[in-house]
Amino acid sequence: MIGNLPTIYRNNSQNIQLVALCKEKYVKEFGFDKILHPLISDLKILENEGLKFSNPENNSEEYIRGSVFAVLGDNLGSHQIGGFTENFSTSEYFCRFCVYTREDLKNFDLHIKTLRNPENYAKYLNSDFDKGIKFNSPLNELKYFHVCQPGLPPCLSHDLFEGIISLDLMKIFNYFQKENIISLHCINQTLSFFVKKFKLRLSFPKMQFNAKKISGKCDEVWHIIILLPLIFLKSPIKCSESFWGFVTSMVEICRIICSPQLNRDQIQLLTHFLHTYFEYRKKCFPYEKLLPKHHYVMHYPDLIRKLGPLKSLWTMNFENKHQYFKSIIKNSKNFKNVVLTLSERHQLMQASLFDDRFKTGIVVKNAINFTNDMMINLT
């Protein structure tokens, strides 16, 4: 995906190009070094030599150079291609942004530790203590990119709406049900009413008591957060200040992180709400463990300063692209060489999108004028 494009065009799945397709079993068998070697070679040419273009205005030749700005993916994919540990449940070092330990997570210490950079990445790689690094990523061979610059931004849809928000929000709803504050049946009915009232093109999942998390997609959980204040509009409820602080800080965090533009004051406000959010969470649910994603979110303010709004770097645009590939397999029903089928069909579609015949008018030869006598009476 070309990063120079405006966001409105970047979000179009037709502007996302295909670089390579590979089965996961081949990644495990051959490794990223061999699989990404052709791509790395082309990127080095793009960095050093560039692409030659002819300028018709002054009859001269120009060279355009570029490099990789970021590699997008979920936590597992980013750790795989970045050379970091892929074990998020038991590994001592599970953060690709800083040298954070599991002991810190158990002690509810959410402060950011020593940030990773190209220097200490190479140091930890060559030492006996891996610090969460398994191998040197082949992407580090590039001249203007490194996985610790940071080059592997988080996906807020996986970390937030399909991660800590769906988990913690379900804990709040279960508490309201248990304390007879408001029932889940009432919440489900209210959400269904909003779907009809605002004509939303989605259906909220039915929340059940004692469920661990909201079993909904990213956009569904995001709409629940947006509509959350309206749920209690007509039926005000009474509960402790900690729970209301927990809910309001959750709403504010999602609102700021998903903003298309942020200034320094808003980023600082996000830092404040993140600390408030975890303080209230510890008061409301003191025995609930934190997940690695809870720590990842603490890096968001610093990552926004370096990379810009994280909504423009999430993986939802590529999820839409995946739907196209799934539809090809479903319709073709050919599983002999899936990679070849997907590649050919996709490139033919992309070629048709860039073909000039869609921009020119239709040429008709040997046509006759239409008259009323040619009409057929169908009554």
Q: What's the pLDDT score for residue 378?
A: 44
Q: Is residue 100 part of a domain?
A: yes
Q: Is residue 37 part of a domain?
A: yes
Q: Give the 3-state DSSP-derived string for the chain, with helices as H, strands as E and coil as C.
A: CCCCCCHHHHCCHHHCCCCCCCCHHHHHHHCHHHHCHHHHHHHHHHHHCCEEEEECCCCEEEEECCCCCCCCCCHHHHHHHHCECCCCCCCCECCCCECCEHHHHHCCCCCCCCECCHHHHHHHHCCCCCCCECCCCHHHHCCCCCCCCCCCCCCHHHHHHHHHHHHHHHHHHHHHHHCCCCCHHHHHHHHHHHHHHCCCCCCCCCCCCCCCCCCCCHHHHHHHHHHHHHHCCCCCCCCCHHHHHHHHHHHHHHHHHCCCCCCHHHHHHHHHHHHHHHHHHHHHCCCCCCCHHHHHHCCHHHHHHHHCCHHHHCCHHHHHHHHHHHHHHHHHCCCCCHHHHHHHHHHHHHHHHCCHHHCCCCCCCCCCCCCHHHCCCCC
Which one of 313, 334, 353 terminates a domain?
A: 313
Q: Is residue 23 part of a domain?
A: no
Q: What's the pLDDT score for residue 232?
A: 77
Q: Are 274 and 161 members of one domain? A: yes
Q: Are 121 and 89 members of one domain? A: yes
Q: What's the pLDDT score for residue 164?
A: 95
Q: Are 85 and 175 members of one domain? A: no
Q: Is residue 359 part of a domain?
A: no
Question: How would you write the pLDDT of the chain (379 residues) with one tens digit per residue?
Answer: 998 888 888 888 888 999 999 998 999 899 999 999 999 999 999 999 998 888 777 788 888 899 999 999 999 999 999 999 999 999 999 999 999 999 999 999 988 999 999 999 999 988 877 789 999 999 999 999 999 999 999 999 999 999 999 999 999 999 989 988 888 999 999 999 999 988 888 888 888 898 999 988 899 999 999 998 888 776 666 778 888 899 999 999 999 999 989 999 999 999 999 999 999 999 999 999 999 999 999 999 999 999 999 998 999 888 888 999 999 988 888 888 899 999 999 999 888 887 655 555 666 677 777 666 655 554 4
Q: Is residue 21 part of a domain?
A: no
Q: Are 167 and 142 members of one domain? A: no
Q: Are 175 and 111 members of one domain? A: no
Q: Are 54 and 81 members of one domain? A: yes
Which one of 254, 283, 313 terminates a domain?
A: 313
- The two tokens of residue 84 are 């970091």
Which one of 152, 170, 185 terminates a domain?
A: 152
Q: Are 146 and 203 members of one domain? A: no
Q: Which domain holds residue 115?
A: 31-152
Q: What whole-number distance in Å separates Cα of residue 287 and Cα of residue 275?
A: 18
**pTM beyond 0.85:** yes
Q: What's the pLDDT score for residue 234?
A: 64
Number of domains observed in the structure of the chain: 2
Q: Are 65 and 128 members of one domain? A: yes
Q: Are 93 and 174 members of one domain? A: no
Q: Are 41 and 93 members of one domain? A: yes
Q: Are 173 and 281 members of one domain? A: yes
Q: Is residue 340 part of a domain?
A: no
Q: What's the pLDDT score for residue 182?
A: 86
Q: Are 171 and 124 members of one domain? A: no
Q: Is residue 191 part of a domain?
A: yes
Q: Is residue 2 part of a domain?
A: no
